[in-house]
Structure formats: C-alpha cells, structure tokens
Amino acid sequence: MKTSIATVSISGTLDAKLRAIAAAGFAGAEIFENDLLSTNLSARDVASLMADLGIACTMFQPFRDLEGLPEPQRTRAFDRLERKFDVMAELGTDLLLVCSSCSPLADGDRERMVADLQEAGERAAKRGLRIGYEALAWGRHVNDHRDAWALVRDADHPSIGLVLDSFHSLARRIPSSSIGDIRPEKLFIVQVADAPILDMDYLGWSRHFRSMPGQGEFPLDDWAAAIRRIGYEGYWSLEIFNDRFRAGSASGVAVDGYRSLKILEGGISRRSEVKTDMPPRVSTQGVEFIEFAASHEEAETLGGMLRPLGFRPTARHRHKDVTRWTAGPINIVVNCEPEGLAHSFDSVHGASVCAIGIAVQDVAGALGRADALHIPRFEQAVAPDEWPIPSVRGVGGSLIYFVDAATRDAMWAHEFPVPLEAPSAGFLTGIDHIAQTMQYEEFLSWLLFYVGLFDVQKTPQLEIADPMGLVQSQAVESPDRSLRFTLNGSLASQSLSSRFIQNYFGAGVQHIALATENVFALAEAAQSLGLAPLEIPRNYYDDLEAKWDLDPNLIDRMAELNILYDRDGEAEYFQFYSRAFARRVFFELVERRGYDGYGAANAPIRLAAQARHKPEIID
Ligand code: MG
Ligand code: MG
C-alpha cells in the first residue's frame, strides 16, 4: 500500500508536520493550502524539504468552486486555477484536488459542468498537470461519487480524473459496489477517513469527527476491497479533520495515521482478501497475569486487599523481589524490585499496574504484527537463566507481555520455583475485564492500538456521567471475551478519570474486574475478612426495587453487601467494588448471568460513591 496523509490531519507548523509524517513512515503527503499560506517557507522550500525527507508531494488541495459558474465568475475561477498551477509547479506535485462546487451561483447543468472540466483538463495538460475531481457530501449539485464519476467519464480528458474520499461516500451511505464502475486509470487518488455514525449535517460531521481507519464505524473494509478490486494501485491518503488530533502531538498523530493505514491494509475487522505483508491481528487466550509495581509497604497494603478476595502469595521469583499471588486461574505479580522497569514505573506513577501478560498462541506472529504497526518493543536485559517473555509498550508506558500459551505452566515453574503458601479454594474464576483511563486526546490512539494489535472488536461508544463531568467509555473484546479492556477518557478536569490521570501522572489501569460465579458468597467472605467495599447509598436500592420488581429480600441482601445490579432483558449483572488501592487502582467483582455489558447504568452511582471518598483518590 502506498501511504500518504494530508497535512491538515495533524497539528503544528508545516515543516514540523512534514518531519513527523516522514518519521512515521509515510511515502507521501498532500499539501493543504492553508498550511502553505501560513508557513514562512516558499513552495520551493517545501518541495526541497520534502525531497530531503524522502516523501512525495501526492497532491495540492483544495480548489473550490470551479465548475458551473456564470461569467464573470467563471473567468475569475479559471484565472485562480492558473495561479494554483504555478504553485504546484514549485511544490513539485502534478495533482490538484478540485472539490465539487458549493457556490450558490453554480449551475447544475451537466453539459456545462462537463465542458468546464474539459477546459480545466486542457489547461492542466499544457502544464503537465492533472486534476482530481471529488464529490463533497455537501456539494451543491454534485454530492455523490457516482455523479462525479459520470462527469469525469464524460469529460473524457486524460488530465481529468476522480478522487474518492471514504467520508463523502460512506457518510451518504453510497453502496461501495458502485466503485466497480470506475476505471482504475481514472482514479487519481483515494482519501481515507473513518468516523462514528452520527445524525448531523455532513459538513460539521466531516470537519470535526473524522477519525482514522479502525477508530470509527464506517464499513471501510468493503470500501477498500471495492477499490482494490478495480485494480487501483495509487496512494491511500489519510484526510482527517478532528479537533482532538489538532490538539495532539504531530508525531503521535502521524504514527497513529500510519498505523491506521496498515490496519486497513490487512483488514480492520476481517482479513483482507488481497495478499498483503501484514501479519494477522493477534488472537489471544486471555490475561495470563497482571503485574503491580510497588514498594514493600504498598505491597503489604495490596496483599491486605488480595487476601480477603481469596488470593494467596503462592510463589516467589527465583532471584527477584517479586511475588506471585494466585486465586483460581488468576495471577497477580507484585514486583518490589529496587531497579528495573517496575521500579522506575513505581517512582513515576506510584504503586500501580506496570505490565499485563496476555496469553497468545503465536508469540513470533504477535511481535511481527506489533512491528508492522510500528508499536515499539520493550527490550530489557534478560539474564541467561531467565525465561524470555517479549513485550511491547502499551498504555501510559506500561508493558504488554506476549506469553506463549503452550508453555505458560513451564514459564511459571521456571520463574517462580520458590513455594510460599498453598492456594485457597475461593470464589474467583478469572479476570473479567481491565479498565484503563487516559486523557481524552489519547483515547482514540489507544483504541487504535488495541483494535490494530489484537483480534478484538470494539463496542459502541458510551458517555458516562461522572459527578464532575462526562467520561467517554468504550470496550474492546476478543471474540470469546476472554480478553476485555474498557477504555475511559475524560475532558472534565475534575472528573474521577481526570483526577486519576493527574494522580497517576499518565494513563493506566484504573480498575481490575474479577469474575465469580457466586457474587454473594464472595462479597460476604471478602467483606467479613476485612475488604472495605465501596459503600452504595440506600436510595440506589429503593430505586432498584421500583425499576426491576426484584424480590425485596434479594435487594436487602445486595444493599447489605453493597452489590450493584444491572439487567439487559433476562441477562443480569451483579457487581461490587473495593475501595482504591494506593489512591489509584480498585477491584470490581462481577457475576454475569448471561450479561455482556459492563454495568454502565451503575457507573454514575459508583463514581458518585468514589467522589465521596475523594481523599482516597486524590491528596
Ligand atoms: Mg477529501
Ligand atoms: Mg468495570
């Protein structure tokens, strides 16, 4: 896939944008006119900078309101066109984007539009240039790529071709099968954007909500397959307008952009039928372990929460100050080493989750996928007798280990040979989900990380009311749901999520949800053994009674144990929460009875309860 990105997609000055684009691995960039107008560099300087950076100038854009104008506006438009041709010659690109007219003066007469395109083609040909015509979703007379293609086809000029932009076509739900009518030599460039499905005007939707492939909800796999099927071999160029990306760092957005095109190349939600070098998304077999970085004192506190839940310290690392706690199939590793990543993590973030081990069938394949997406590996010195577990950088600088599912027992036996206490028969059956909290600006980036790296699907985006503001929440889930992450991002600086980030100095794990098949027995055992639950107000239970017509005895029992309840049809969800450990991480204990969600309806209750314990979350 030949990769390109429009400079409008990222923040910063034009030269900073171009450097970030080159560093991220793109082969080319479209120069957005406003970026050129606002830089000190001349068009020639931009051309030589791009040459030095090794990126092609794939297009100059946009040219507006060309076709269908009456005189004298028509003459003026063509004069303007000639001036843009002058700039293009200096920029070193032969392709100009002309978008369908929005001018109230434009005439919708087809013959007139075809004649104008021919005239523009003649003028471009004299300069050795080409024009790509794009149907804007809000174009006055042309707002459908099928109409734009018919005009290009009828203009029948070698310098006039089509630009397909996924936003304009998919926002209007134009069937991608119609792309089959387009002749590949006439498709001059393809522009790519994803977006959430929204019910709003096309212009506002496009200007503010475009996102990268994999971050939104457009059927991009079908769209891209239709383009490949006609034999298109040109650039795939990202054109993203999104306020969040403009607020982010140029290099971060450029890296995500490159990653998103590679994800599209291999297929976003199903494998591309076209041969590609992209290794497939990593299929996972659940979370093998969660690693905490902590001081000895913090480890003691954490142990005081783990023990009532049924965890026992069952083994010690062969030579490191690291303890393995287990409960049923769940492993929590507590790392008190005075040096290494866990220690530096503890110094920067305070006691918290510094790594997550994910069981995979094919470790080499997982690393190959990460490399192809430019996800950095974490290399750390491994002693000769140490079991090597490869890892990559995840949320907030934490690590994701790829644990070979076939040899995981051998790994534990080798690394943790020193037995401590016997495991206890408890009520925990596994890790249900891991919740991570991040800045609102980073949210889409980490979403892309998960959907790109792993074989997971994202759930619809939710907005959750925190007493101090709104939190955006979305989950990614493996097909068998043995791996589930919920991602939370907040704009409101005083929301719990934001306070978490401030307190944590960055994004990270906010809660760990553990599964049980008997939430009442677990709650009773844990709370009687000293686990302080998050206290839920009685009003909640009165409302529950009114809402679901539940047995009053059951409700009393839930109230006594601070268990929250949600329901979806006949499916039920029971959950209770611990208080926060080290003011950052807390545990959720859940019993699912056929329920697939995350108790979003209860999140405002939980957040309000936590806000009452604010000193726990923030100093
Ligand atoms: Mg476009
Ligand atoms: Mg949860």
How much is the pLDDT for 281? Answer: 94
Q: Pairing mode, if any, of strands 235-238 and 2-6?
A: parallel
DSSP bridge partners of 575: 564, 590
- Express as a percent the part of the chain with pLDDT over 70: 96
CATH of the domain at 404: 3.10.180.10
Give the integer Cα–Cα distance in Å for 131 and 125.
9
pLDDT at 464 over 60: yes
Instruction: Starting from the CA of residue 171, give the closest ligand.
Output: 1
Give the integer Cα–Cα distance in Å for 306 and 520.
17
What confidence tens digit (pLDDT) does each residue in 552-590 have? 999 999 999 999 999 999 999 999 999 988 778 899 999
pLDDT at 418 over 50: yes
Mean of pLDDT values over 394-414: 95
Distance 150 CA to ligand 1 centre (A): 18
77, 157: one domain? yes
Give the integer Cα–Cα distance in Å for 247 and 234.
30
Instruction: Compute the mean pLDDT over every residue in the chain, rounded to the nearest whole number.
Output: 93
pLDDT grade, residue 169 (50/70/90)? very high
Distance 134 CA to ligand 1 centre (A): 7
> Which residues have their alpha-adjacent CB atom under 5 A from ion ligand 1?
165, 191, 239
Torsion of CA 70, 74, 76, 80, to 10 degrees: 150
Residue 279 lies in a domain: no
**Residue bearing the bigger pLDDT, 378 or 440:** 378
Instruction: Starting from the CA of residue 586, give the closest ligand.
Output: 2
How much is the pLDDT for 619? Answer: 34
Classify the C-alpha dihedral 209-213-215-218 as positive or negative. Answer: positive
521, 603: one domain? yes
Classify the C-alpha dihedral 255-258-262-263 as positive or negative. Answer: positive
231, 84: one domain? yes
Residue 252: exposure state from Cβ atoms within 10 A (0-12, 13-18, ≥19): middle
Residue 196 lies in a domain: yes
pLDDT at 213 over 70: yes
> Which residues have their alpha-adjacent CB atom under 5 A from ion ligand 2?
513, 588, 598
Residue 275 lies in a domain: no
What confidence tens digit (pLDDT) does each residue in 493-522 have? 666 776 666 665 567 888 999 999 999 999
CB atoms within 10 A of CB 540: 19
pLDDT at 370 over 60: yes
How much is the pLDDT for 612? Answer: 81
322, 254: one domain? no
pLDDT grade, residue 492 (50/70/90)? low
Mean of pLDDT values over 526-554: 92
Mean of pLDDT values over 308-335: 97
Amino acid (one-letter) located at 457: Q
Task: Determine the distance from the C-alpha atom of residue 168 to the mean position of all C-alpha atoms in its chain, rounded to a whole number.
Answer: 22
How much is the pLDDT for 572? Answer: 97
pLDDT at 274 over 90: no
pLDDT grade, residue 334 (50/70/90)? very high
373, 432: one domain? no
pLDDT at 261 over 90: yes
Q: Which helix (H) or strand (E) holds 323?
A: strand 322-327
Residue 274 lies in a domain: no
**168: containing domain:** 2-266
Distance 466 CA to ligand 2 centre (A): 14
Mean of pLDDT values over 121-139: 98
> Which three-class secondary structure state does DSSP give residue 456?
coil
DSSP bridge partners of 391: 378, 401
Instruction: Starting from the CA of residue 192, give the closest ligand.
Output: 1
- Number of independent structural domains in the chain: 3
How much is the pLDDT for 463? Answer: 81
Give the integer Cα–Cα distance in Å for 326 and 309.
10
Spatial neighbors of 86 by CB under 8 A, at least 6 apart, are none
Mean of pLDDT values over 411-437: 96
393, 445: one domain? no
385, 516: one domain? no
Q: CA angle at residue 430 from 424 to 433, to 5 degrees? A: 140
- pTM for the whole thing? 0.92
- Domain end marker among 395, 419, 443: 419
Instruction: Starting from the CA of residue 573, give the closest ligand.
Output: 2
Nearest residue to 66 via CA among 99, 34, 90, 89: 99
Give the integer Cα–Cα distance in Å for 592 and 571.
8
Burial 342-364 (b: 16+ CB within 10 A, else e): bbebbeebbbbbbbbbbbbebbe
pLDDT at 533 over 90: yes
Distance 405 CA to ligand 2 centre (A): 26
> Which three-class secondary structure state does DSSP give residue 424?
coil
Least confident of 146-150, 356-360, 377-381: 377-381
- Domain end marker among 204, 233, 266: 266
- Domain end marker among 266, 296, 326: 266
132, 172: one domain? yes
371, 449: one domain? no
Distance 346 CA to ligand 2 centre (A): 24
